[in-house]
Amino acid sequence: MQTWIQRQKNMIEFTLSSLLRRKRKNVALVTVYTLVVFLLASVIFFTYAIKREASLVLEGSPDMIVQRLIAGRQDPIPLSHLDKIKQIRGVRSAGSRLWGYYYDPVVGANYTLMVSGESPAEGSITVGQGIARTRLLDVGDEMEFKAHDGVIFNLSVQGIFSAKSELVSSDLLLISESDFRKLFGLPRSHATDLILQVGNPREQVTIAEKIAALLPDTRIILKEELLRTYDTIFDWRGGLMLVILFGALLAFIIFAWDKASGLSVEEKRETGILKAVGWETSDVILLKFWEGMVISLTSFLAGLVLAYVHIFFTSAVFFEPVLKGWSVLYPKFRLIPFINPYQIVTLFFLTVVPYTVATIIPSWRASTIDPDSVMRGS
Nearest approach, Cβ of residue 359 and other proteins (Å): 17
Taking the C-alpha atoms of residue 260 and residue 257, their distance in angstroms, rounded to an integer, is 5
Pick between residue 16 and residue 273 the one whose CB is nearest to other proteins.
16
Nearer to other proteins, 32 or 305 (CB): 305
Shortest CB 373 distance to other proteins, Å? 32
* C-beta closer to other proteins: residue 171 or 179: 171
Q: What are phi and psi of 250, to 5 degrees?
A: -65, -45
For residue 235, the minimal CB distance to other proteins (Å) is 7
Buried b (16+ CB within 10 A) or exposed e, 262-286: ebeeebbbbbbebbeeebeeebbbb
Considering the complex, what minimum distance in angstroms separates the CB of residue 353 from other proteins? 17
Rank residues 130 and 371 by Cβ distance to other proteins and give the closer one.
Answer: 130
The CA-atom distances, in angstroms, between 147 and each of 102, 157, 190, 351 are: 10, 18, 18, 57
Residue whose C-alpha is closest to residue 110's, from 101, 123, 119: 101
Give the DSSP letter string of 76-89. Answer: PEETHHHHHHHTST
Nearer to other proteins, 203 or 235 (CB): 235
Do the Cβ atoms of 30 and 317 come closer than 8 Å? no
Taking the complex as a whole, how short is the minimal distance between the CB of residue 176 and other proteins, in angstroms? 14
Q: Which residue type sits at 14?
A: F
Q: How far is the CB of 326 from other proteins (least distance, A)?
A: 5
* Cβ contact 173:126 at 8 Å: yes
What Cα–Cα distance (Å) separates residue 338 from each residue in 53, 126, 169, 311?
A: 8, 31, 21, 11
CB of 10 to other proteins, least distance (A): 7
Q: Please identify, using beta-carbon distances, which residue of 84 and 324 lies nearer to other proteins.
A: 324
362 neighbors 267 (Cβ within 8 angstroms): no
Contacts of 317 (CB under 8 A, 6+ apart): 310
Of the two residues 117 and 140, which places its CB atom closer to other proteins in the complex? 117
Pure H helices in 174-310: 177-184, 204-214, 223-233, 239-260, 265-276, 281-308
Which CB, 187 or 238, lies closer to other proteins?
238
Residue placing its CB nearer to other proteins in the complex, 331 or 371? 331
Query: Which string of DSSP letters, residue by residue, matches 117-155?
Result: TTPPPTTEEEE-HHHHHHHT--TT-EEEEE-TTS-EEEE
Q: How far is the CB of 67 from other proteins (least distance, A)?
A: 7
Q: Least distance in Å: CB of 335 to other proteins?
A: 9
Question: 268: closest CA among 32, 352, 276, 298?
Answer: 276
Q: Is 367 helix (H, G, I), strand (E, B) or coil?
A: helix
Give the nearest distance from C-beta 240 to other proteins in angstroms. Answer: 5
Q: Which is nearer to other proteins, 227 or 251 (CB)?
A: 227
Measuring CA to CA, which residue among 254, 290, 276 is closest to residue 363? 290
Helix, strand and coil in the chain, % to nearest 5: 55, 20, 25
